[in-house]
Amino acid sequence: MTKTALITGATSGFGAATARRFVKEGWKVIVTGRRAERLDALVDELGGASVAHALCFDIQDADATRKAIDSLPADFAEIDLLVNNAGLALGTGPAQECNLSDWMTMIDTNTKGLVAITRILLDKLIERKGAIVNLASIASNWPYPGGNVYGATKAFVQQFSLGIRCDLAGTGVRVTSIEPGLCESEFTLVRTGGNKEAYDKLYSGADPIQPEDIAESIFWVANLPAHVNVNSLEVMPVSQSWSPFAIHRK
Residues 6+ apart with CB under 8 A from 24: none
In the complex, what is the shortest distance from the CB of residue 55 to ligand 8X3, in angstroms, rounded to a whole number?
24
The contact set with ligand 8X3 (CB under 6 A) reads 137-139, 180-182
Q: Please, which residues have CB within 8 angstroms of residue 88's CB and are 6 or more apart in sequence?
A: 105, 106, 109, 110, 187, 190, 191
The strand order across the sheet containing 28-33 reads 52-56, 28-33, 4-7, 81-84, 131-135, 174-180, 232-235
Q: Minimal distance in Å, beta carbon 96 to ligand 8X3?
A: 20
Query: Looking at beta carbons only, is 46 or 138 nearer to ligand 8X3?
Result: 138
Q: Which lies closer to ligand 8X3 via its Cβ, residue 130 or residue 211?
A: 211
How near is the Cβ of 240 to ligand 8X3 at its closest, in Å?
A: 7
Query: Which SS3 state, helix, strand or coil, does residue 192 take?
Result: coil
Q: Is 150 a residue of the active site? A: yes
SS3 13: helix
Nearer to ligand 8X3, 152 or 168 (CB): 152
Q: How far is the CB of 180 from ligand 8X3 (least distance, A)?
A: 6
Question: What is the distance between the alpha carbons of residues 179 and 57, in angstroms, rounded to a whole number?
Answer: 25
CB 33 within 8 A of CB 8: yes
Distance CA(179)–CA(94), nearest Å, equals 22
Shortest Å, Cβ 209 to ligand 8X3 = 9
For residue 61, count other CB atoms closer than 10 A to its CB.
Answer: 15
Question: Nearer to ligand 8X3 by C-beta: 81 or 183?
Answer: 183
Distances (CA, A) of 68 to 16, 27, 61, 134, 242: 19, 20, 11, 20, 42
Out of 144, 150, 199, 203, the active site residue is 150
Give whichever of 12 and 137 is closer to ligand 8X3, judged by the CB atom. Answer: 137
Nearest residue to the partner ligand 8X3, using Cβ: 137
Question: Which residues form the catalytic set?
Answer: 150
